[in-house]
A and B are shown apart, each in its own frame.
Chain A
Amino acid sequence: MNETVSSPGLTGGLPAGWSSLELAALYDEHSRAIYYLALRFLGDPQKAEDATHDVFLKAFRRLDQFRGDASVRTWLYRIAINHCQNLCQSWHNRNIRAGSDDALWENSPAKTDSPLRVLETKELGQRIQKTLDALADEYRLLLLLVADEELSYEEIATLVGQSADAVRGKLHRARKAFAAHFDKTV
């Protein structure tokens, strides 16, 4: 897939504050997706802010290495995932976290086809974060990627280095674990 870094909203000229149209366009189009992934994967707004800045700067520096055999979004996600995983790895090394009990939740009677009902959206972000924090990194990442409608299963599979079928199977278990944890956060 060949894709150039451009944004229809930025074709009129260089937006104020930016000195590179490429970076401005890249940021304009993908910052929400990258920030959201960083926010929910790292669970800390300040760290997510730093990570988003670093990811875009890294991407801008490597723009000439972008070969166009993946979408720009996928390429940015790859940089973001590596960055966030490196950060998590260094935390894990410092603070050994208790193992996730996903296996327990996967075997729980929670159904994936029953809807997630929310009465109060004020603290929804906190509930979602709490739920994601309780999941294994792999499940958390899959759920965050699949929530992005611009990504196909094949692209997600490439990003996580697995087959599309394996991703589908794991997603089923991840959704089940999410639903069970989410119910407990009320």
Chain B
Amino acid sequence: MKQQTKLTPKRELEHGAEQQTQAPLAKEFSDAGELLRFDAAQTIVPPEIAQRLQKSEASLSPPASRSWWKNIFGG
């Protein structure tokens, strides 16, 4: 949303006595929107889509146009 500007999830280290034993890195998301934005940023668009699209674009036939003489004489 335009109103929300903060994108980066908070990284928190576990504190306390457990700090000595490899504490896991936790990510916190304020709501579903922030979580989904993070997910979207991690998502890689498969390059195959662009390749397919380029092929489809190349094979798109130009608008059907009949030359004036074909319109008159047929063919």
Contact = CB atoms under 8 A, between A and B. Distances in A.
Given A112-B31, A151-B1, 19 more contacts: A18-B57, A23-B57, A35-B43, A36-B43, A49-B46, A53-B52, A53-B56, A56-B53, A116-B30, A116-B34, A124-B39, A125-B43, A128-B35, A149-B2, A149-B4, A150-B2, A151-B2, A174-B32, A175-B33
Nearest to A57: B56
Report the contact-size class of chain B (Cβ under 8 Å from the partner). Answer: 35 or more
Interface in B36-75: 36-37, 39-40, 42-43, 45-46, 48-54, 56-58, 60
Interface of A: 17-20, 23, 27, 31-33, 35-36, 39-40, 45, 49, 52-53, 56-57, 60-61, 112, 115-121, 124-125, 128, 143-144, 146-153, 174-175, 178-179, 182
A144 B36 contact: yes
A32 B37 contact: no
B27 to A, nearest CB: 5
Nearest to A60: B57
Nearest to B7: A149
Contacts of B53: 23, 27, 53, 56-57
Q: Is the interface of A mostly helix, strand, loop or mixed?
A: helix
Given A18-B57, A147-B36, A152 B50 contact: no
